[in-house]
Amino acid sequence: MTVMPKSLPAIGRNAAFFVDFDGTLVDIAAMPDLVHVEPRVGNLLEALTDDLSGAVAVITGRPLGTVDAFLAPLKLPVAAEHGLVRRDAAGSLHVEDSALTSMDAASNRLGRFEAEHEGVILERKRVSVALHYRLRPELGEACEAAAIAAIKGEPALEVLRGKMVFEVRPKGLNKGTAVSAFLAEMPFQGRLPMFAGDDVTDEDAFKVVNARGGVTIKIGEGETTAQYRTDRDGLFAWAATIGKD
């Protein structure tokens, strides 16, 4: 399904490039720590950072430190944990930590569920937790029920559904609000926004970028509000042309 650059719009240097991590920059792995970051990932992000005067950011569900480790030595602006932890282009951190007590309670409940179900992985992040069931897809409904039960009586929390994962997190911030925050700051301000992502969690960002007249790209299959669709190879081929006019 590879879409070559000519099938996607030509983009000049006045652009802001926002991109998801898992399933977009890298292939999804069976376990979160097993992803392989190809050399072309760092090469592309570094080239785009130069061509777009630093207006490049990763928008991901991953913890900030994990993204930095995977992309080292690059240290980009990042919206981690679906926007709950955001490092801006100046290096300042913006963290939504008002619901930590509720998060601890929910995490403890899900920890008990994890202990009782082999192959289910609870990923504890800074201000959220993710329940992965990629190794046990038949437990999807049970994991969803456990996540919903974990936030019972915790009105500040919500359950976010992704590919083979349910994330328990504070309400109010998402990938769309993260993109909006970046676009209000330099060097992103006043630029044409672009966003590429593969998961249902990327739809919030697609909606924001579409509303601003930008370019949205869905990686892979599934319903979407994105304007274009391609695979990872198509994305890399197209992105290499950005800012080259």
CATH of the domain at 156: 3.30.70.1020
Asked whether residue 126 falls in the same domain as residue 161, the answer is yes
Helix (H) or strand (E) holding 234: helix 232-239
Asked whether residue 209 falls in the same domain as residue 190, the answer is yes
Backbone φ and ψ for 172, nearest 5 degrees, come out as 110, -30
DSSP-assigned letters across all residues of 78-120: EEEGGGTEEE-TTS-EEE--TTHHHHHHHHHHHHHHHHHSTT-
Residue 244 lies in a domain: no
Asked whether residue 46 falls in the same domain as residue 89, the answer is yes
User: d(Cα 129, Cα 35) in Å, to the nearest integer?
Assistant: 19
Q: Which residues of 169-186 are buried (b: 16+ CB within 10 A; e: fewer)?
A: bbeebbbbbbbbbbbeee
Asked whether residue 120 falls in the same domain as residue 184, the answer is no
Q: Give the model confidence (pLDDT) of 16-47 as tens digits.
A: 999 999 999 999 887 788 899 999 999 999 99
Write out the two tokens for 22: 């898992």
Report the pLDDT value the prediction gives residue 70, as an integer from 0 to 100.
97
User: d(Cα 229, Cα 82) in Å, to the nearest integer?
Assistant: 22
Is 27 an active-site residue?
Answer: no
45 touches 38 (CB < 8 A): no
Residue 48 lies in a domain: yes
Domain count within the chain: 2
Tokens 């480790």 — which residue? Answer: 69
Asked whether residue 139 falls in the same domain as residue 52, the answer is no
132 touches 164 (CB < 8 A): yes
End-of-domain residue from the set 149, 170, 191: 170
Work out the pLDDT band at 1, boundaries 50, 70, 90: very low
197 touches 206 (CB < 8 A): yes
Asked whether residue 218 falls in the same domain as residue 190, the answer is yes
Report the pLDDT value the prediction gives residue 98, as an integer from 0 to 100.
85
Write out the two tokens for 118: 């082999």
End-of-domain residue from the set 110, 137, 170: 170
Write the single-letter amino acid at 92. Answer: S
Using alpha carbons, select from 147, 170, 172, 153 the residue that is nearest to residue 100.
170
Residue 223 lies in a domain: yes
DSSP-assigned letters across all residues of 128-155: -EEEE-TT-GGGHHHHHHHHHHHTTT-T
Asked whether residue 104 falls in the same domain as residue 87, the answer is no
Asked whether residue 141 falls in the same domain as residue 73, the answer is no
Average pLDDT, the chain: 93
End-of-domain residue from the set 112, 138, 170: 170
Whether omega for the bond prior to residue 73 falls within 30 degrees of 0, making it cis, is: yes
Asked whether residue 160 falls in the same domain as residue 110, the answer is yes
Residue 245 lies in a domain: no
213 is in which domain, residue-wise?
Answer: 5-95+173-239
Q: What integer is the mean pLDDT of 151-168?
A: 93
CATH of the domain at 208: 3.40.50.1000
pTM over 0.75: yes
Asked whether residue 104 falls in the same domain as residue 91, the answer is no
Whether omega for the bond prior to residue 170 falls within 30 degrees of 0, making it cis, is: no
Residue 101 has pLDDT above 50, yes or no: yes
Q: Residues 217, 215, 70, 64: is their CA dihedral positive or negative?
A: negative
Q: What integer is the mean pLDDT of 114-120?
A: 96
